[in-house]
A = this chain, B = another copy of it.
Amino acid sequence: MTDTPRANPGYKRIATEEAFATREMLDHYLKLVQDGIDDPGFQSLWGFYIQSDAARPRFIRDHLVDLGEKRLAHMDESGIDMAVLSLTAPGVQIMTRDNAVGFSVDANDQLAEACRKHPDRFVGLAAAAPQDPQHAAKEIERGVTKLGLKGVIINSHTNGEYLDDEKFWPIFEAAQALDVPIYIHPRGMSRDIIKPFVEAGLDGAIYGFGVETGLHLLRIITKGVFDRYPNLKIIVGHMGEALPFWMFRLEYMHEATVRSNRYESMKPLKRKMSDYLRDNVYITSSGVGWEPAVRFSQQVLGIDNVMYAMDYPYQYNIAEVMALDNMQIAPADLKKFYQTNAERVFRI
């Protein structure tokens, strides 16, 4: 067994949840941490990543800001043909409204510049500031039509608020009108739920991220966003934040709860929970280079709904690429997973 993925496997490997940061944003994060910003999820995550001298946070800091040689060398080494880049969590969503607007524009400009320099290797998603939904919608339009970006990155909650709140719906409006997907990525958990997670060290990628991002998508679905925006596409990573595994129970209990009229906030929907998950939701394998979960998700969502992602630089792990290359699925389905689903969803 070699220790690098095989060349020319019959498909391009497109990695769809790859993170970058601008230097200016990391400097700003350092200042927010040092100023003691009152956001326990941000302090837990970036208080560690921005200041620790351990090997993992140093690696991550160094490679987040590289949109050139180091990143391309790692992509070559791990057989990744193309990376779909997005501003790392929490992006601008930790900032004041004015800073968020300014940093989102700057990050999109820097990202577009890197994509222009390396058009065969990089595409990008537009950052946006939910703190100002009208500006966010305009910036998404600028990102897609002027800068050539391929979708939108939203790093979960914004100050504890979720996109099911109608004030944020200009973002959905813009994404549907432009026919680009919105990728909802985890960030540090909101102050409203972090306590029993963070006190046990479970607030981050190990579990809390998945909980909060899964909750976010469920709030969007059950609020009826896809009834209002039937062509909207939302992507979640980390094998769908486990929602494919919950699908049966989500559907059974949603129907039972609506029928019993238990909540003012949970009204009947036009379609079933599983319909939304299959028709409007796409998932990626970020952080989960594990054949059983990939195949399960392909089985229950559909072969067209599951895309490859590495989660670089948070999970730079070549062995996972090789494991996924060797999945016991039809070559045509492996090509969908690595290449053609991403080409279709992001219109690459």
Contact = CB atoms under 8 A, between A and B. Distances in A.
Given A197-B215, A200-B266, A56 B259 contact: yes
Contacts of A199: 265
Count of identical protomers in the assembly: 2
B196 A190 contact: yes
Interface in A250-295: 250, 252-254, 256-257, 259-263, 265-266, 287-290, 292-293
Which of A196, A199, A257, A266 has the most chain B CB within a 10 Å cutoff? Answer: A196
Interface stretch (A144-152, A202-210, A334-342): A202-210
Interface residues of A, number: 63
B201 A257 contact: yes
A222 to B, nearest CB: 6
A238 interface: yes
Contacts of A290: 247-248
A192 interface: yes
Interface in A310-329: 315
11 contacts: A48-B262, A54-B261, A57-B260, A200-B222, A200-B223, A201-B222, A207-B250, A239-B245, A242-B242, A248-B289, A253-B287
